[in-house]
Structure 1
Amino acid sequence: METVDVIIPAYRPGKEFEKLLDSLSTQNYPVEKILVMNTEEKFWNTAWEKKFPKVDVVHLKKADFDHGGTRCRGARLSDSDIMVFMTQDAVPADRNLIGNLIRPLQENSKVGAAYARQLAREDCAYLEKYTRRFNYPETSSIKWEKDTGIYGIKTYFCSNVCAAYKKSIYEEIGGFVKKAIFNEDMIYAGTMAKRGYGIAYAADACVIHSHNYSCRQQFHRNFDLGVSQADHPEIFEGVPSEGEGLRLVKKSLAYLIKTGHIWLVPKLAGQSGFKYMGYFLGKRYKKLPKKVILFCTMNREYWKNE
């Protein structure tokens, strides 16, 4: 039986995080260790280590956190066959999450990563619920490098909100990039695909996770997404990147009209515009003044040493 560790970067974890720890501790496929990479020790609840014996915590300073580097550090602390990375705000939908998530890795030796389906929270906005269903459909799939002609950049999609990685392939690839503003999961998945490995989407492995981002937040997130792609032309250059976004807009518009939610069309237009504007500027960040970059980014800490 292959061993599984779960690695979770955390910052100011609260009651929802306790639900996550409880659910991971009672999965039908047992988890060996839950490694928490916690930013700022003063916000950590020490009672969790007693309540959940599988929890190991490593405390970091805020200045030391990095989307790629922190996960790399967590991976070095794991000696399991499979590593599952999660975010602190994702909650397993049931006790079969781990078993269903790692199954594609167990069934195909050439599949190096698998990511979970994200279900919307109860308080999720109407339009965002549709976006979740668009990005995380009911049917599982495996994508390979040859699929870039069909899916474009979506071929490399993988989300560390909840994703599993074979440790042996992870070490062969060299792990996540050590410094990443964002998107470390897709950068890794793209590298892996170019080495001949597949990326699985496990639709029966479900976590509850969604956000109601404002237009401004969408702008900042997509700016950083654009930066991450600009920094890694070896992965993303030459791969169609805007077709999937346009398809989402068209599908969302048709859905709003079909369901009689016409009044949400201006919101769709606004969100889509801010997303594209952020992404457009992020891809061209090297031409922008530092002040403009700091205004656009979601992660100001990242630019301190740039």
Structure 2
Amino acid sequence: MTVTVIIPTYKPDKKFRSLIEMLTSQTRKADRVVIMNTEERFWKDSFMDGLENWEVHHLSCAEFDHGKTRGEGAKKTDSDILLYFTQDAVPADEKVLENLLRPFENSKVGAAYARQLPAEDCRLAEQYTRSFNYPDKSRIKTKEDIPVLGIKAYFCSNVCAAYRRSIYEEMGGFISRTIFNEDMIMAAKMMQAGYAVVYAAEAKVVHSHNYGYVQQFRRNFDLAVSQAEHPEIFAAVSSESEGIRLVKSTAAFLMKQGKPWLIPDLIISSGFKYLGYKMGRKYKRLPHSWIRHLTMNQAYWEKE
């Protein structure tokens, strides 16, 4: 199978350079690397030193969309597998591509996504969140798992995820306008069509954030907006119960680590997440001027 790595970028930095360096040392090399870069003035060809068979395509901030931009990247290649990274996802070893491609030996697999490990500077509670959402055991998910897994059945992350091109195109590609969740929407379509989505724990990237309260609010606001815009996928599965389970499990972890003083911060952070989520679900009732202050992605609302 041929594989093209597609990476949307904006103000690429040291992490992006580390990602490129790790791509050069993979046991399974990408046949092509396509960069979809927002704002040409921030780009330097030297970012790609050491890597062959790459190309960069520039677009403006107004043209960027989580789904459309990745879809445009897919149109620039005819590879069997489309493998997406975000610019801050650094392969943890030399076998990420090899391990992420292995599930596609099963012809029913439409997508596979990698395990995300916390960076060295990651806060303790967020470290646990990584292990909660990305355990060390792989799993094949089909529509039969939806009653058991709920919202997590559809979970897939374009931080590092691969798609079988033929099935991706059968599903119509990524949705062309979305504020968030283009990966989960695609995974849900694949599963509902009878295909499988694989969590490949052996494929590991280093990726985490230390978001502040307001950033957590805005991220969850956008997440909820995407769910509200796609009731055909998200209406039948609940996100809130999974969020509550994460909070309880994280609090128990902090107690076990002997750091109960971190629990108040967990509660406050979770409160901001929940409030952002609830407001995002009801965004249609909010004045447009409010939404521009609540979202993490203002450009999305300028395209309405």
Do both share a fold (TM > 0.5)? yes
The aligned residue for residue 212 of structure 2 is 214
Gaps of 5+ in 2: none
The aligned residue for residue 28 of structure 1 is 27
Asked if the contact 1:152/1:243 (under 8 Å) is kept, the reply is no
The aligned residue for residue 54 of structure 2 is 55
Deviation at 1:15, TM superposition (A): 2.3
* Counterpart-to-counterpart distance in 1, 2:90 and 2:16: 8
Deviation at 1:54, TM superposition (A): 2.2
Deviation at 1:23, TM superposition (A): 1.1
Paired residue secondary structure (1:205): strand
Question: What is the 5 A alignment of 1:1-306?
Answer: 2-49=1-48, 51-106=50-105, 108-306=106-304
Deviation at 1:74, TM superposition (A): 0.2
**Counterpart AA for 1:74:** G
Asked if the contact 2:2/2:31 (under 8 Å) is kept, the reply is yes
- Aligned-pair identity in percent equals 56
**Counterpart AA for 1:282:** G
Deviation at 1:198, TM superposition (A): 1.1
* Counterpart-to-counterpart distance in 2, 1:256 and 1:145: 34
* Count of paired positions: 304
**Counterpart AA for 2:294:** C
TM-score under structure 1 length normalisation: 0.97
**Counterpart AA for 2:57:** V
Deviation at 1:49, TM superposition (A): 4.7
* Counterpart-to-counterpart distance in 2, 1:277 and 1:264: 20
Deviation at 1:26, TM superposition (A): 2.2
Residue 247 to residue 49, structure 1, CA distance change in 2 (3 Å): closer
Paired residue secondary structure (2:292): helix
* Counterpart-to-counterpart distance in 1, 2:245 and 2:104: 30
* Counterpart-to-counterpart distance in 1, 2:208 and 2:54: 25
TM-score under structure 2 length normalisation: 0.98
Q: Provide Cα deviations, 1:95-122, integer angstroms capped at 9, x if missing partner.
A: 100010111122x211100000000000
* Counterpart-to-counterpart distance in 2, 1:50 and 1:233: 44
Deviation at 1:53, TM superposition (A): 2.1
Q: Provide Cα deviations, 1:115-153, integer angstroms capped at 9, x if missing partner.
A: 000000000001100110111000000111121211111
* Counterpart-to-counterpart distance in 1, 2:258 and 2:121: 20
CA RMSD between the two structures: 1.0
* Counterpart-to-counterpart distance in 1, 2:168 and 2:239: 25
Paired residue secondary structure (2:111): strand
Residue 287 to residue 95, structure 1, CA distance change in 2 (3 Å): same
Runs of 4+ in 1 over 6 A off after TM superposition: none
Asked if the contact 2:142/2:197 (under 8 Å) is kept, the reply is yes
Deviation at 1:242, TM superposition (A): 1.4
Q: Provide Cα deviations, 1:182-239, integer angstroms capped at 9, x if missing partner.
A: 1110111111111111110000000001000011100000000000000011111121
Paired residue secondary structure (1:8): strand
Paired residue secondary structure (1:68): helix
**Counterpart AA for 1:58:** H
